[in-house]
Chain A
Amino acid sequence: MHRLLPLLVAVPLLGAALLAALGRVLPRVVAESVGCAVSAGTAALAVVLLPHSSPPLVEWAGGWEPVRGYGVGIVLVGDGPGLGMAALVSLLTLAALAYSWRSFDEPPHGHTGAFPALMLLFQAGMCGFAIAGDLFNAFVWFELMGVVAYALTGHRVEEARAVQGALTFAIVNSLGGYALLMGIALLYARTGELAMAEIGRGLDAGGPPDALVLAGFVLVLTGLLVKAAAVPFHFWLPDAHAVAPTPVCMLLSGVMVQLGVFGVWRIHGTVFSGPGGLPAGDVERVLMVLGAVTAAIGALMCWYQRHIKRLLAYSTIAHTGLFLLGVGTLTPEGDDGVALYVIGHAGVKAALFACTGILLDRFGSVDEHVLHGRAGALRGVAVMFAAAALGLAGLPPFGTALGKSVTEEAVGGPLTVLYVVVSAVTAGAVLRVAARVFLGLGPRPREARGEDAYETTGNGEEPETEQRLVRVPDTMTAVPALLLAGALAAGAVPGFADAVARAMSEATTAGLVHTSVHWTPVGIVLGLVSTLLAVGLAAVAVTRPELLAPPARALPLRRLQSGHVGDYVAWLLVGTTVLGVLALPAVLTG
C-alpha cells in the first residue's frame, strides 16, 4: 500500500501535463472534465489510503530503503494527518473545479487546458507537502504550491487589482520561501541530514539548543507562517485572496493557508520537539502570542471590510490565529481540535467564497454597500450564505463547532473568551453582509468619507463568467451546498471525530495516548453563545450602523494594510525578529 503514496503527487501531475500537452486541440468541456476526473481520482486514492494509515505508511521514493538506519532517499510519510490533508486538498480541488465547470471565464486562446492544469498542479503541490517527510522535499512542494498560486491569483490579467495582489503575494511568499531554505541549510549544517526525523535526532544528539537551532527554528517558521498568514506576515493575504478568481480563493483560504499551520505542526513535532530542539514552553509562547494577535487583528479588520471577498480573507486570518493557538497548546487535545476545526472551516469558508462568486457573476460587484438589497431573488444562495456564517460562528452541530469546542477546552482560561469573540465577530460580519445584501435590511450605508476613505471597495470587479449570469448554473449552487453538508457532517456524523482523534494520536504518539473527542455541554453552550453574539452584532450593525462603525482610532491599523510590497517585506523582517525574541529564552536558559 505504501508504494502508492507518491501517486498522490504523480497522478495530478500527469493529468496536468496531459492537459497542457493537448491544450491546443482539446475542446473546453473535455479539458475540464479531465481535470475533474483526475482530481477526483486523486481524492479517491487519498481516501482509500487513509484507513491504512495506522501505523503510518512510510515510503522511500525510488525504493531507497535505509541501510543500517541511514538512507539516501526521500521519505514520504502517509500518516493520518498527512493523508487527511491530502484528501481534504483533493476534495476541495474537485469542488473548485466543479464550481468553475463550463462557467469560469473564457480560457486563454489556444490554452483551454491551462486553468484546470494549473489547478491540478496546485493540488499536486499541496498533496506533496502534506505527505513530505523530508525537509527539503517539503520545501520543493511548498514552492510549487506557491508558484502555482501566484499564477492562479493573477489569472485574470485584465484586472488591475488581480495582478497587483498576485505580485505582492509572489514577492512576499518567495522571500518567505528563501528564509525557509536558509533555515534548512542551517539545520543541514548542524546535523548533516535532510529527513525530518533524522534532523530531529541529530539536534538531540547535539545537546541543548543554541543560537543555531534558534535561527533554524525562526527561519523555518518564518517561511511557514508567511504561508499561514500569521501577523505580522499576513499582509499579502487579503490583497491576494480578495482578487483571486473564486475557485482559487476556495483553495487558498480553505486549505493552502491551513497547510502553513500544518507545516508548523509537522516540523515542530518531528524536528524541534526533542531535547535538542526548543523547550515546549518557548514554542508555546511563540505560537500563543502570534496566534492571539493574529486572531484579534484578523477579526477586527474583518469587521471593517465592505469588500466581501476581502472580509472573508480577513476571517481566514482570524481563524488561522485560532488554529495557531490550538497547535500552540502542544497537547493531543489541541491537535485533535484543530484538525476538526480545519476540516469544518475548509467546507464553510469554501462555501462562503462560492456564494460570493455567485454574487460577483450575477451583479458584477462584491461590495456590501453597493449590493444592498439587490440579491433578494437568490433565495437558495442566501440560505447557504447565512448557514455558512452560522457555521463560521460555531453553531452546533457544524464541524467547526466541534473543533472549536475541543480546542477551547485544550486552550482553556481567558483565551476561551478570545475564541468565542473572534468567531462571533467574523461570523457577525458575514451575517451583516447577508442581512444587507440578501434581505436589504437596515438603512443603505452612506458613503461617509468620500473618496479619501482608506478602504478597498468591492465595486468595479469584473464577473468571472463570460457575461453576467442571468441564471445561476446548477453546479455553482450545488458545490457550496455539498461543502456545507460536508462541514455539517464533520461535526454531526457519529464516530468521525473519534476517527480523526485516533489518526492524530497514531501520528504523534503511535497510538499510545488516545484522547476522546465528543460534544460537551460547555462546548455546546459556548458555541451557542458565539452564534448568538454573532447574530446580535450583525443585528446592531445593520439597524444602527453608526454604533459599530470603524472609529477614527482604528485608522492607524487600517493604514498598516497599505498595499505596498515594501511595507510587507519590512514587516516580514520585523516578524522574524519578533519570533527570535519570543523564542530567545530557550537559548539563554538552555
Chain B
Amino acid sequence: MPHRWGMTVDLDRCTGCGACVTACHAENNIAVVGDVQAAKSRAMHWIRVERYWEGDFPDVRLKFRPVMCQQCDAAPCEPVCPTYASHHTDEGLNAQVYNRCIGTRYCANACPYNVRFFDFYNPKWPRPLHLQLNPDVSVREVGVMEKCTFCVQRISAAEIDAKAEKRELKDGEIEPACVQSCSAKALVFGDLNDPESEVSRLSRSTRGAKLLEELGTLPKVTYLARQTQV
C-alpha cells in the first residue's frame, strides 16, 4: 500500500512562536523578497501562523493557526492547471512541478487557503548567503508558482534510504522542517495509511477538524482544537 502523507496541527500545543516559518525558509530556499516587495504583499511564507483576535480588552482572546498547503485529496488547484504543473502524486502529495509551470496563477486563485505563492522576480541571494541554499531543493525562477511540499525532498531521501536498507519506513522517521523545528511538538507528520502511526492516531482524535472542511477539498492536514478551561 502506498504511503499517504498527512499532518496534524495541535492548536493546544502551538504557541505561535514562528519557528516553523523560519525553518521553512531555511529548508526550502524560499527567497527573501525585501521590504519594498513585502510592502506589496509579495512575501512568500509557505507556512504562516495566522492569528485571530476574539473579543475586546480585557476579555480578549487570541487564536493561532499555522496554515500551510493542506495537500487536499480533491485539490481545487490541480485540475485548473493547464499544464499539469500542479497534480497529485501516488503518495497523495499535491506536487508542484516548477519546470512545467507557465505561471497562469490559476491554481493560486482556485486555492481556498491562499497557500500558493508566485515568484514575481528572480530570487537574489547576496553572496555569500547563497552558500546556505539547500541543494536538495530547486530554486524557483521568475514566473512560477511555489508552495509547501511537505518537504518532499526529505520524504524521498528517507524512502530511498529505507529502500537501500531493505526496510520499512519507521513512523516519525520523516520530519518536514516545520515539524522538526517545533519545540512544543504541535506539528506531527506521518503516514495516514498506517493506522498505528502517531498522525493517524491524532487525526482520529475528537478534537480533530479540517480547515474549510465544508468545501469538500479533503485536506490531509488535521487541526486539533485548542481546549478551553471551564
Is B truly associated with A? no
A residues contacting B by CB (< 8 A) are none
B residues contacting A by CB (< 8 A) are none
